Structure 1
């Protein structure tokens, strides 16, 4: 169920001192018999441990499962609720708890009546199935652990070796007795009154840490009962190194820890990473980006913080008409994505800017937009339906910024860290009523409005159903290149298709978008007599949101932020450039659970694998930047740009 961990999860375990293997997070279904469907709810989540309280029946010949004595008249037996279902699953799975992994299962039995005859009866029942409950017969056997009215430590030896006991941290055990201790538990409220909100106060946390340290020195895992039971608590206890997470909500707890490595990111050394064959794939990508290979967990790390740029603010909000416009769109980048990247890196260039607004992202026909509707609304200033590329429902087109500015002698360029035919870049040069019609979209490049197009996806120019070799046609008016490194900075019109730009960002490739931005600026500066318009897209923040993969989101956001730094650096040198940084929408419903500024660590979870309608931030820098403050519809970006340039559409 749980995949091999990447960087953060490994560090969290090793730093906290957890004793369990690193391939699994250990969840204990406390008072499992109180679930609507005992055993099976927790079992279906492949939790580590399941708890049942037992009483002897009236004639002390059977064992009943109940929380209190007043439940005994209607209580079911331990055979019915746990032993028989477990035996059935072992038979079904050929001698293992689960067919699809080698995880162990622990059955914790809380003796509510006296050790004799309760434990004696239990042992007799379990001895009927040595292949299920005796590890000396079957190494995959269920681990049986006794708590509640346990025998005195000196009497542990009187019971079969397959019976383990729940220890207490205040006891002094002999080495022989410790061998029979399966784990050590204690009541949480002996050490803390924390209710699971916010954080545990330092003195109480110190007491808990002392217990953890003591138990780990014994070489045993630790558990607390009576704990707060929610996301904040689960995450806190896991981070502290509590080996077994106690919960009455096994399904919700299991869901929180599922693919936990994809929900964490920390600035740390690469040497801790384990190689993983798992890739986080986005399943909601459209035609132009379906070939995306996914995010490789083993390469999704950051050893060193990315250096940010400190703007001079000399031209910020200057009362003059800018010559150049650089519009930067972090596809899928909401405030949570920005906060996560800032926590890991400790700083972001975009967060240095002073003029900040909020963008409403709704499409014309839907409250939640896609990139086509949002990108087109930004590019054309007209509300656009989802899946439409700068077009109306009747097929009529809405001119984009490049189509308005290019005839006025502005050099226009598009750079995307994704496919050149994907919705956001397409909205700035093409038109269609369906974003997947990439042949129709890319034919608009023949209009020649762009001085530069840079991204991945050569197949959109060559492997086509319309029978046109668009690459050859475009070569009549464009230089066609295949590497950002080879991109020239003279005034020649160029289409640079670098397939590296369609791959997931790694620490090594972090500077790629910034390098492309720097070259694009130099090219457009030399190509436009009046000035230039440049749209830069950080495409794969969106992909990471669709894949629910936080490390990818952080790396893609940092890549985009480096491009922002390059744009601001030029703006400071030039003094006549307005830089606008925003997003088309948020992807994934990312929520930050907790983090640690000192450790440069963030834990988050996604609420969906789709877009959300939440507003996204807008940052602006340079002449006219204050016009981008406030909250407004995404179509206003278009109109504000033309107003600042004193151009009527």
Structure 2
């Protein structure tokens, strides 16, 4: 391997995997049979592996990197695959420091093989560990090894892999680099699901025993899967054995971000169900949209909240197909426009059809039937979902043009972030009869607007507090006092943000926050007969699944297929008057048409 090739390859690996051996994570990886990788050493180093294995066979006085004689390739030696690249990397500052060791698995007789190894290492003294070079490379000898009593006869840079369940204080611990055993001595687990508890306990006890002597532990022949890597990490295995160092490093590096532990469970409201599904006149319609909120997101919140949610108390539910007019996978603009207008449109378009023609939305249409209306969101008011209910514009990012539609809308109330986007609209909003308030309190105004933040609102975990539930309670009270039918859209916007960021904590905390607002709405429906509550999503974000969790501790692990929207169907829940009408599987546009069918049945212009 020439200098240019190895240098460029390492840089590519570090860029590709976003990892560096300079930055050690909380986990450590053992690159098992590393010499079989397409690019030995550099692949493991690029993945941040701290233990790198090479099998050696002594043949004709040369140390060949191979598992058996039949696979020997004269070009593949410990020098060419490992020692030369390491020396070169240090010389050229590609390897800033050595924070890994080589596990040398001897396949030929120990004493004669080690004699040749010592001679070979004379050319690498400047790389090796010593009293004068405490940051140097160490070799841990595995496979065929000398007797423990002879360990002391070998140089400081050479340590040994102890392989026995029998551990005692009189072992030569100063020359033992790690303790390794076959995983099969403890368990027959295949890495799927969970390990049998009795077997897991035996493994844990041995790990703890090794640690009591201040040494690291590794298990060879262990399952090599995400479930296994996670289990071994949680049990404290020091060097997680894998043939897939890049995949293991990627998974384990994201594990902390992918796992969420809920420390603040909320109680759920028990609906009365007295008029749930009843064919009584619909007076109020409340549409709640969890942006990006798919079944996995709901499930994650459910499991982290003691296996109960306000949302999952509901009995009438269905599935919604979310495709846009011009794309299989919708964005929030097209998805919300379908709910607001009953027509599919192109991605990025707000309140217009696929040809750019303005469409009437629910607040404007329902005004003709005597309905008041409002919008509450954790997003900025020019965000795609809320804007779909008052604006008519083909590009969701044109905030200046979008904001100009607000004063022309039939909305009676809005509560959102993004006040600076409307700074030029102050007079128009005032002329339209909006009173801009600075807090959620008693007001006699007919139309109100409240910009809670000049720009984006904080996420729930960043200190947003009880904004959504308090705004929802205020909005319901404000609209109800008008003594007219009303339509209210409530959006939880940041479930989507969590999906885009593959951030489990954001997804679950935002969904749990949404669920508390759902409780307010369901309770309102129980107290105000004729209220129809619809809870759904514009699309799913992240391609989320839940590989593991623990209901008792409120812990869930989320996995991600994407950092974008997906085309999977989203759940829809309904409660109250005519909630049974929302069962089934249908297009997102049907939500609008189902609402309008009920409005026309019980109200006239």
What TM-score results when the alignment is normalised by the length of structure 1?
Answer: 0.85
Task: Say if 1:517 and 1:323 are closer, same or farther in 2 by CA, change over 3 A.
Answer: same
* Aligned 1:492-507 pairs, distance under 5 A: 492-499=446-453, 502-506=457-461
Q: What is the distance in 2 between the residues matched to 1:602 and 1:218?
A: 34
Task: Say if 1:491 and 1:620 are closer, same or farther in 2 by CA, change over 3 A.
Answer: farther
**Which of 37, 45, 68 is matched with 1:43 structurally?**
45
* Aligned 1:285-434 pairs, distance under 5 A: 303-346=263-306, 347-434=308-395
* Aligned 1:208-287 pairs, distance under 5 A: 208-267=203-262
Q: What is the distance in 1 between the residues matched to 2:25 and 2:46?
A: 18
1:522 aligns with 2:477: yes
Query: Is the contact between residue 135 and residue 143 of structure 1 (CA under 8 Å) also seen in structure 2?
Result: no
Alpha-carbon distance, 1:487 to partner: 4.6
Task: Say if 1:536 and 1:396 are closer, same or farther in 2 by CA, change over 3 A.
Answer: same
Question: What secondary structure, in the 3-state scheme, does the structure 2 residue paired with 1:150 have?
Answer: coil
Query: Is the contact between residue 221 and residue 244 of structure 1 (CA under 8 Å) also seen in structure 2?
Result: yes
Q: What is the distance in 2 between the residues matched to 1:605 and 1:597?
A: 17
Larger radius of gyration: 2
**Which of 582, 586, 590 is matched with 2:536 structurally?**
582
**Which of 416, 437, 450 is matched with 1:481 structurally?**
437
The match for 1:111 is 106
Structure 1 range deviating more: 569-578 or 502-511: 502-511
Query: Is the contact between residue 325 and residue 354 of structure 2 (CA under 8 Å) also seen in structure 1?
Result: no
Alpha-carbon distance, 1:345 to partner: 1.7
Q: Gaps (5+ residues) in structure 1?
A: 5-20, 99-103, 268-302, 463-468
Alpha-carbon distance, 1:598 to partner: 2.1
Structure 1 range deviating more: 132-141 or 420-429: 132-141
Query: Is the contact between residue 95 and residue 131 of structure 1 (CA under 8 Å) also seen in structure 2?
Result: no
* Aligned 1:139-178 pairs, distance under 5 A: 139-174=134-169, 177-178=172-173
Alpha-carbon distance, 1:407 to partner: 2.8
Q: What is the distance in 2 between the residues matched to 1:497 and 1:73?
A: 71
1:83 aligns with 2:89: no
Alpha-carbon distance, 1:169 to partner: 4.2
The match for 1:183 is 178
Query: Is the contact between residue 188 and residue 225 of structure 1 (CA under 8 Å) also seen in structure 2?
Result: yes
Question: What secondary structure, in the 3-state scheme, does the structure 2 residue paired with 1:317 have?
Answer: coil
* Aligned 1:19-30 pairs, distance under 5 A: 23-30=25-32
1:617 aligns with 2:535: no
The match for 1:275 is none
Q: What is the distance in 2 between the residues matched to 1:591 and 1:407?
A: 43
Q: What is the distance in 1 between the residues matched to 2:101 and 2:384?
A: 51
Question: What secondary structure, in the 3-state scheme, does the structure 2 residue paired with 1:132 have?
Answer: coil
Alpha-carbon distance, 1:228 to partner: 1.6
Q: Gaps (5+ residues) in structure 2?
A: 1-13
Alpha-carbon distance, 1:240 to partner: 2.6
Q: What is the distance in 2 between the residues matched to 1:505 and 1:368?
A: 27
Query: Is the contact between residue 277 and residue 575 of structure 2 (CA under 8 Å) also seen in structure 1?
Result: yes
Question: What secondary structure, in the 3-state scheme, does the structure 2 residue paired with 1:580 have?
Answer: strand
Residues 223-244 of structure 1 show CA distances to partners (whole Å, capped at 9, x for unaligned) of 1111121122222222233222
Q: What is the distance in 2 between the residues matched to 1:460 and 1:513?
A: 21
Task: Say if 1:95 and 1:325 are closer, same or farther in 2 by CA, change over 3 A.
Answer: closer
Residues 375-394 of structure 1 show CA distances to partners (whole Å, capped at 9, x for unaligned) of 11111110111111121233
Query: Is the contact between residue 132 and residue 141 of structure 1 (CA under 8 Å) also seen in structure 2?
Result: yes
Task: Say if 1:224 and 1:473 are closer, same or farther in 2 by CA, change over 3 A.
Answer: same
The match for 1:599 is 553
Alignment coverage as a number of residue pairs: 582
Q: What is the distance in 1 between the residues matched to 2:325 and 2:95?
A: 57
What TM-score results when the alignment is normalised by the length of structure 2?
Answer: 0.91
Task: Say if 1:250 and 1:73 are closer, same or farther in 2 by CA, change over 3 A.
Answer: closer
Cα-Cα RMSD: 2.3
Q: What is the distance in 1 between the residues matched to 2:375 and 2:472?
A: 10
